[in-house]
A and B are shown apart, each in its own frame.
Chain A
Amino acid sequence: MVENVVSIGLFVDERMEIKKNRFVGTEGTGKAKRICIATGIHGDELEGQYVCWELARRIRADISRLKGIVDIYPALNPLGIDAGTRGIPMFDLDMNRIFPGSEDGAVAEHVAAKIIADMEGADLCVDIHSSSPHMRELPQVRLSQATAKQLLPHARLLHMDLVWIHASASTSHATLSHSLNQRGVPTLVVEMGGGMRITRSYGDQLVDGLFHLMAEQGIWGCPVPPFPDPVIATDSHVRKVRADVPGLFLPVAGHNTRLKAGEPLGKIVDALTGEVVSTLSSPCDGLLFTLREYPVVYPGSLLARILGGEGR
């Protein structure tokens, strides 16, 4: 059943409506477990759109197997998705920096508070993000150190290539996931693919994982075939390569390949002079799990992340 979570009158003859689709299983709504699948908080991250569609499609096709409740929120920032912008268009605000919001705050904060209120009480939540439109990421779950102990068993089930446990920045305290975790809703953040596009193979991988997670929780009544355990990484396993000069980045290494320390990663060139202004190589043996796709770089622009150490 499709419901409005929030509905706000826009300036002229239109409403901003944040919708969810609720699927209720055989156990009804009483004591049944509930999972929230949320995405689209950043309007330029579309990987979750495919996941929502495929998840809803498979549930509808086999609805008798559903025991619990699945709430699908495909577009927490519907105007951002429409406009292709990361933030909420009229506010120039990153929506994932205003949680938990406030019922009587500014419009964006009011919307955030309504979303939290709607998700509160759920047994689990998965918040699906893409990388920025500049990058490509292998499918991964990101957990803060503070939540890792509680969330890691759930994260392992999502069929992602990697679970990255990272030190949380202060800004992460204003995210949907942090706010829900604070309120007792275990919330996992998935990052995969890239912005402004859909990688169907990654989406299928995550949907399989969501069914696995739901089966373990008793929300879905069907056994799940075995799958490879994800690599568990911390910040110390991840080496970042950044641009040291401005120019055009031309990668030579392929995404999702294993590199040896010193192996060529790419070069930065100057289109005006024809010079190669910087040559970059892998700082360690490891898996190239993040790779820049947008060629124009400034000093500091992220070019690659390599999973070394205990990486597979």
Chain B
Amino acid sequence: MIKETVFELASPYRNDLRVTGYSFGKGAKAACIVGAMRGNEVQQLYVCSQLVQTLGDLEKRGAITGNNRILVIPSINHQAMNVGKRFWASDDSDINRLFPGDSQGETTQRIAAGILDQVQGYSYGIQLASFYMPGDFIPHVRLMDTGHQNASLGTLFGLGYVLLRTPRPYDTTTLNYNWQLQNTHAFSIYTNETDRIDPHSAKEAVASILRFLTRMGILKYHSHGGYISHILKETDLHTVTSGTSGIFRRMVGPGDEARYGDVLAEVIHPYEGHVIHRIFSPTDGLVFFAHRNPLVMENEGVFKLIKRLHS
């Protein structure tokens, strides 16, 4: 294992930003794993820390096959994490909306460009990602439908689902999208936590990455087979919204089956305590995403159900 600073930026009033990378194995750029890019991505940091530990052990045991180098960058924006911010603290910009960056541009554009310079050229790129809506997902792999993606490769992680996302304009500035444009097969792994650590889904994420690296011939590692993944498109997901606002009481969580007409959640009057609204399942399906905030707004998307597969 080689630990090195892969990017550095001078700061006026605090320690300089040092982005640390851990390299395992030697030779061709095989796989790169990137963790926390936002200050609240503690689970993503934790997953990478566990991965660094495991890969270190595997390397000592000679489990990394010849001419394969793996780079793990556990955190990019820990300066935000250290001050309780989600985005770059001095200007509130989101580094994962600034790729490919600009080495002569604004501060966070320079960070994005510097990181992309370090992570480009790998055959496989894996980002531990987070979602902006507060809620829990079934752990899954997500790929951008750029025309460069290979969804079947995503199934080799052995997670339950591979979601193919049609990129929106703002997606074009993410690391995942720009990796793909540079011919790296890029995947985002979503676990069911962001700002808290869920050891179970973190372990599942680490296992899925090791499984993928093994199946691609980068590791010699005895991994369990995992799931036979279903490939989903966004149109396979049915969004269920709340008809009113109030206190949110969830009846089902990710992975639960729902029948048409089942009560998925109740909304309680915030002052008077009685149920003012019930949210029913509009279809037979499986809960893929569930809102977690104890409060809910009117018209807020609170569930995403996988339809058809289980209907």
Contact = CB atoms under 8 A, between A and B. Distances in A.
Contacts of B244: 9
Interface in A160-199: 170-171, 173-174
B72 to A, nearest CB: 26
A97 interface: yes
Contact of A298 (B10, B133, B271): B10
B236 to A, nearest CB: 15
Contact of B271 (A13, A86, A299, A302): A13
Interface string A283-310: 0000000000000111111100000000
A170 B172 contact: yes
A252 B17 CA distance: 29
Given A11-B270, A132-B91, A296-B90, A247 B12 contact: yes
A266 interface: no
A121 interface: no
Interface stretch (A103-111, A144-152, A209-217): A103-111
User: How big is the A interface, by class?
Assistant: 35 or more
B299 interface: yes
Given A11-B295, A170-B172, A92 B132 contact: yes
Contact of B90 (A97, A110, A247, A298): A298
Interface in A215-238: none
Contact of A299 (B110, B168, B245): B110
Nearest to A92: B86
A247 B10 CA distance: 9
B45 to A, nearest CB: 18
Chain A binding surface SS class: loop
Contacts of A2: none
B105 interface: yes
A132 B108 CA distance: 15
Nearest to B298: A9
Contacts of B97: 97, 171
Contacts of A11: 245-246, 270, 295-297
Nearest to B11: A246
Nearest to A11: B295
Contact of A300 (B110, B296, B297): B110
Nearest to A169: B173
Contacts of B270: 11-13
B10 A106 contact: no
A92 B87 contact: yes
Contacts of A104: 239, 241
A97 B87 CA distance: 16
B173 A171 contact: yes
B132 A170 contact: no
B121 interface: no
Nearest to B90: A298
Contacts of A117: none
Nearest to B241: A104
A10 B247 CA distance: 11
Contact of A107 (B107, B168, B246, B297): B297
Contact of A8 (B12, B107, B297): B297
A143 B240 CA distance: 39
Most A CB contacts (10 A, CB to CB) among B97, B170, B271, B301 go to: B170
Nearest to A111: B299
Interface in A69-91: 86-87, 90-91
B295 A12 contact: yes
A174 B245 contact: no
Interface in B125-164: 132-133
A147 B239 CA distance: 35
A246 B15 CA distance: 12
B297 A10 contact: yes
Contacts of B9: 298-299
A106 B105 contact: no
Contacts of A87: 92
A174 to B, nearest CB: 4
Contacts of B169: 97, 170-171, 173-174
B117 to A, nearest CB: 15
B10 A299 contact: yes
B107 A245 contact: no
A93 B92 contact: no
B295 A91 contact: no
B241 A9 contact: no
Contacts of B109: 300
Contacts of A170: 169, 172-173
B53 interface: no
A107 B300 contact: yes
A87 B300 CA distance: 18
A134 interface: yes
Contact of B107 (A92, A248, A300): A300
Contacts of A105: 239, 301
B132 A110 contact: no
Interface in B233-255: 239, 241, 244-246
Interface in A2-55: 8-13
B170 A174 contact: yes
Contacts of A296: 12-13, 90
B164 to A, nearest CB: 18
14 contacts: A13-B271, A86-B92, A91-B132, A97-B169, A105-B301, A107-B297, A110-B299, A170-B173, A245-B10, A246-B10, A298-B10, A298-B90, A300-B106, A301-B107
4 closest Cβ contacts across the A-B interface?
A: A9-B298, A9-B245, A173-B169, A246-B12
Given A91-B132, A170-B172, 4 more contacts: A11-B296, A171-B170, A174-B169, A299-B10
